[in-house]
Amino acid sequence: MAGLVPEDIERYADARTTAEPEHLRAVAEETRERTRSPGMMSGHVEGRLLEMLVHSSGARRVLEFGTFTGYSALSMAAALPDGGTVVTLEVSEEHAEIARRHIAASPYADRVDLRVGPALESLEDVDGPFDLVFIDADKPSYGLYFEAALERLAERGLIVVDNTLWSGRVVDERDPDPDDSTLALRRFNDTVARDERVVCVILTIRDGVTLIRRA
pLDDT in tens, 180-195: 999 999 999 999 999 9
pLDDT in tens, 141-176: 999 999 999 999 999 999 999 999 999 999 977 777
2: pLDDT strictly greater than 60: no
Helix (H, G, I), strand (E, B) or coil at 116: strand
Q: Are 164 and 172 in contact (CB under 8 A)?
A: no
| HSE-up of residue 182 (Cα within 13 Å, Cβ side) | 14
Give the residue from 102, 111, 97 showing the smallest Cα distance to 26.
102
1: pLDDT strictly greater than 50: no
Instruction: Walk me through the domains of the chain, giving residue ranges and CATH numbers.
Output: 7-214 (3.40.50.150)
pLDDT in tens, 73-125: 999 999 999 999 999 999 999 999 999 999 999 999 999 999 999 999 999 99
Give the residue from 76, 56, 55 showing the smallest Cα distance to 64.
76
